[in-house]
Structure 1
Amino acid sequence: TKWSGLARTGDQMSLVNTIESVGAGGFVYISVMDFIPASTYSGGHGPSDVYWPALTDAIIKVVTSRAARVRLLASHWAHTDDVMVPYLQALTVMAQACRYAYAPCEGELEVRLFEVPGWNETEGPDAQFPPYSRVNHAKYIITDNRLNVGTSNMVWSYFTQTAGTSFNSNDEPLRKMVLEVFERNWESGYTTNLTI
């Protein structure tokens, strides 16, 4: 069931539109707890996972055809799904492939994992922190001209089986404020580069 009114855009399309709003040579910065282009932790879709390329295709498109610099900051915590890192590695390799084309692309994708200290001390009898805590729970995208802040992890089920919402804006002071938060987190001592 689609709940968006006639004058509204669904969250998936809003995220894709935000990514694709990047200008030539611009940037797209994504901060999210879970980034999985599939249906990994939801049922009701049959016996196998659903592949969901909406966001990965948008990222590859802007890296390849707009020379965009994409930075993706995903959370790593006690409940990170085992498939997330392999999917992020595959996305990174796909983004690098255009460098070998006849007319090599100038865009790039960088992926880092964000670990809040104590992320691995939230389970079991010796837990130092409450369960399901110690995680960067952010969900936003910033480009050189737009901002999207949402409630949904970037996983298929959040866009098809739950109700979420997002705020989209081109307000420059707000965009700059969120950009500063992203850059602070990206450059912090809590991130590690994704290895391939």
Structure 2
Amino acid sequence: MVMTWAAHAGAAAPASNFQIVESVPEATIYGEPGVPRTQDVWLDMIKHAQRSIDIAAFYIADQPGEPLSPVLDALVARAKAGVKIRVLVDQTFLKDNQDSVNRFRSVKGMDVRVLPVDTLTGGVLHAKYMVIDGESVFVGSQNWDWRALSQIHEIGARVTNDRFAQTFEAAFDFDWQLAGDPNLPKAAEKAMSPPSFAPATATDPVLLDGGSTDPLVAFPAFSPPSLMPHWVSAEQPALVHMIDASQHTLSIQVMTLSAIRQYGPKGWWPEIDTALRDAAARGVQVRIIVADWALREPMQAYLKSLAVLPNITVKFSQLPLSSRGFIPYARVEHAKYAVADDRSVYIGTGNWEWSYFNNTVDASVFVQGSGPAKTLTHIFDRDWNGPYVTTLDPGKNYPPARNH
């Protein structure tokens, strides 16, 4: 796939913007100055919605008194004010968020559908994004979970641009219709239909206002190819291209990373693995942070196979316990992003394993520009040089972390 980032650099930038958003676990060193927090951004986007809110959510996990409750209340309030709200959730995890789903279904103006990804492809709806009025998008690692707002380290992005948002809207519409009629051959035929607008893609990206920096070039990408319109950009080749284009440094933070396929057909997933090893072989300094949840086998053995290579350093992160004690499925590095050199950024919703790109619904944003790269590098370096990480020693064995 050929990307034409530079070809668009001379065009006039429309009135639009890009914003990195961070979730900061309580009582940690995290929190980049000037970077907004997830709850604030979600509330701002929801409260300013005038016509529509579309949400793709892996699941919804609310708890009274926790920071997701005001967000869900704001959604209900906007529905009662006449804003049309559609919420798409995953079938496999429906039992874990039935209360919130039932609440939404009881509100006039809120429509909920369940996407049976497991039946269709063997995966799940793992994406986490929101589209407001067909004009702005939030996409990132943050689940609609109270823990994702106060107990987990997360990275997302807010993008305000009509073409970008319409492209996300089209991907959402495709899955929304599939949730109503889970006929994959019929959907695949429809996926070939040309769009009614100029979508934002790897070969035709959008320009965003970089604020104090140069204009940014951006496009969204989606997974898996079988559950998205034919004309949107796929995540895996876009990510491989970004890694292949790196020249000096490549910084990656992701919860789990492995080329050994644990979900779906067993075997080896070479695309991202080859790109990483090739980057290191040509002298790119590759830094990788994974969560301690990645220490289970055979993933630990795979990560060691990277760590033995020249120019690759792997660290794993262990966040301190909350003052409340152990919280299931929390206190973890859940972010999924990468920075190449000082110019290219990827922020996604999926972990770096075969299933997240090939049978599971995920989404991301790719951005070229010095501003986002600088901000994400600062966030990465705070973790890389901080007290929670341990350099993975290929000669040691590490116990897998408890997560529930």
Instruction: Compute the TM-score of the two structures, normalised by the length of structure 1.
Output: 0.79
Asked if 1:140 corresponds to 2:140, the answer is: no
Correspondent of 1:150 among 325, 348, 351? 348
Which residue of the partner structure matches residue 297 of structure 2? Answer: 82
5+ residue gaps, structure 1: 97-107, 120-126
**Residue 33 (structure 1) aligned with residue 255 (structure 2):** yes
> Counterparts in 2 of 1:143-182, with a 5 A limit?
143-144=340-341, 145-182=343-380
The partner residue of 2:238 within 4, 9, 14 is 14
Distance in 2 (CA, whole Å) between partners of 1:162 and 1:182 is 26
Render the CA deviation track for 1:74-96: whole Å, top value 9, x for unaligned: 1103x753222110111223x33
Shift of 1:170: 0.6
In structure 2, the partner of 1:123 is: none
Give the distance between the partners of 2:259 and 2:363, measured in 1 at CA. 19
Which whole-Å deviations, capped at 9, do the CAs of 1:136-155 have from their partners, x for residues lacking one? Answer: 10101101120001011001
Query: Does 1:55 find its partner at 2:272?
Result: yes
Percent of aligned positions that are identical: 28
Give the CA deviation at 1:20: 1.3
For residues 162 and 187 of structure 1, the distance between their equivalents in structure 2, rounded to whole angstroms, comes to: 33
Consecutive unaligned residues in structure 2, runs of 5 or more: 1-224, 395-404
Letter in 2 for 1:110: T
Number of aligned residue pairs: 169
**1:3-60 per-position Cα deviation (integer Å, ceiling 9, x unaligned):** 454543211112211111212xx100000000111221x24x3xxx221121111011
3-state SS in 1 of match to 2:362: coil
In structure 1, what is the equivalent of residue 31 of structure 2? none
Flag the structure with more relative contact order, 1 or 2, with Cα contacts below 8 A and sequence separation at least 6.
1
Q: Which residue of 1 aligns with 2:173?
A: none
Alignment partners' CA distance in 2, 1:159 and 1:153? 9
- SS of 1:165's equivalent in the other structure is strand
Cα root mean square deviation, aligned:
2.1
